[in-house]
Amino acid sequence: MSNASSASESTPSASSLKKSRWSEYKQIMDNGLWKNNQALVALLGLCPLLAVSNNTVNGLGLGLATLVVLMLSNVLVSLIRDHVSDEIRIPVFIAIIATAVTVIDLLMNAYFHTLHGILGIFIPLIVTNCAILGRAEAYASKNTVDKALLDGFFMGLGFLFILVLLGAAREMIGSGTLFDQAYLMFGEGARDWTIHFSDSYQGVLLAILPPGAFIGLGLIIAYKNYIDAKKLSKQQNALGIQIAVSSPINPNS
């Protein structure tokens, strides 16, 4: 009887396993969106990010393409991780990424032809994005399909968010508009989606030029670092208070 009870105690319950799984999923989400954001922390994929983020629609188009490629490549790498030797894994990963990028490139050329022409070479260059190969090597090749899929989704979503944020900021400052040329992605019904903040606004040319991209991204990174430092300071202060409360000074000592 004692052996059976000890075995049941040592075996994790279904609720604890479920809780542990959701904790892992939450950690994947936090890493992709904030803690390990590939554009703000790892600083990967900066070439297309800085080049096409001169307006919101361009950033959204490239961001969605990168997101889909990340998800496809992570899932495929996770599926074959036990069948590929270490000696050839990098060429195989690159071939998988190139295949996914080719599919996305052909689909965008078919359904978003004008936007595809604007983004140009930066769609095929997704193949060389170190963030995608890095996630395939560091995470997807070592984890199950569900975790690899979530990692690709949230890593891509974090990259997409920075692309759209930077593109929107540069478009508003540089042109005084928002969602200009939205019809390139959403069809003719989106021609009226453009928001004009002022008819007399001349715009700041620097914002839509390459230096504006570097300045804008630098400000976003600085703001993230400020938020992280402030959060860390609060945690350290709270920890100090807890230590002081748990270890009161004995007046008789």
Structure confidence at residue 21 (pLDDT): 87
What is the band of 7 on the pLDDT scale with cuts at 50, 70, 90?
very low
Structure confidence at residue 80 (pLDDT): 95
Q: Is 210 exposed, middle or buried (0-12, 13-18, 19+ CB in 10 A)?
A: exposed
What is the band of 17 on the pLDDT scale with cuts at 50, 70, 90?
confident
Q: Which of 16-20, 136-140, 243-247 has the highest mean pLDDT?
A: 136-140
Q: Which residue has the tokens 């983004």?
A: 119
What is the band of 249 on the pLDDT scale with cuts at 50, 70, 90?
low
Q: How far is CA 131 from CA 9, 134, 191, in A?
A: 42, 5, 34
Tell me the pLDDT tens digit for each residue of 173-214: 999 999 999 999 999 999 999 999 988 888 899 999 999 999
Structure confidence at residue 253 (pLDDT): 47
Structural domain spans, the chain:
42-230
Structure confidence at residue 200 (pLDDT): 87
What is the band of 18 on the pLDDT scale with cuts at 50, 70, 90?
confident
Mean pLDDT of 113-135: 93
Query: What is the token pair recorded at 181?
Result: 């040329």
What is the band of 141 on the pLDDT scale with cuts at 50, 70, 90?
very high
Tell me the pLDDT tens digit for each residue of 46-102: 998 999 999 999 999 999 999 999 999 999 999 999 999 989 999 999 999 999 999
Tell me the pLDDT tens digit for each residue of 203-242: 899 999 999 999 999 999 999 999 999 999 988 888 777 7
User: Given a cut of 90, is residue 39 above it in pLDDT?
Assistant: yes
Top-confidence residue, 54 or 4: 54
Mean pLDDT of 27-39: 94
DSSP string, 167-224: HHHHHHHHHSEESTTTHHHH-GGGGGG-EES-SS----HHHHSHHHHHHHHHHHHHHH
Top-confidence residue, 211 or 2: 211
Query: What is the token pair recorded at 234?
Result: 């609060």
| Residues 124, 98: Cα–Cα separation, whole Å | 8
| Residues 179, 183: Cα–Cα separation, whole Å | 9
Query: What is the token pair recorded at 113?
Result: 């032809």
Structure confidence at residue 19 (pLDDT): 82
Q: What are all long-range contacts of 189-192, with beta carbons under 8 Å and residues at least 24 apart? A: none
| Residues 197, 151: Cα–Cα separation, whole Å | 37
Q: Which residue has the tokens 């965008």?
A: 108
- The answer to whether the pTM exceeds 0.75 is yes
Structure confidence at residue 248 (pLDDT): 54
Q: What are all long-range contacts of 45-50, with beta carbons under 8 Å and residues at least 24 apart? A: 45/129, 45/130, 45/131, 45/132, 45/159, 46/217, 47/122, 47/125, 48/122, 48/125, 48/126, 48/129, 49/159, 49/162, 49/163, 49/166, 49/213, 49/217, 50/210, 50/213, 50/214, 50/217
Q: Which residue has the tokens 């997704």?
A: 126
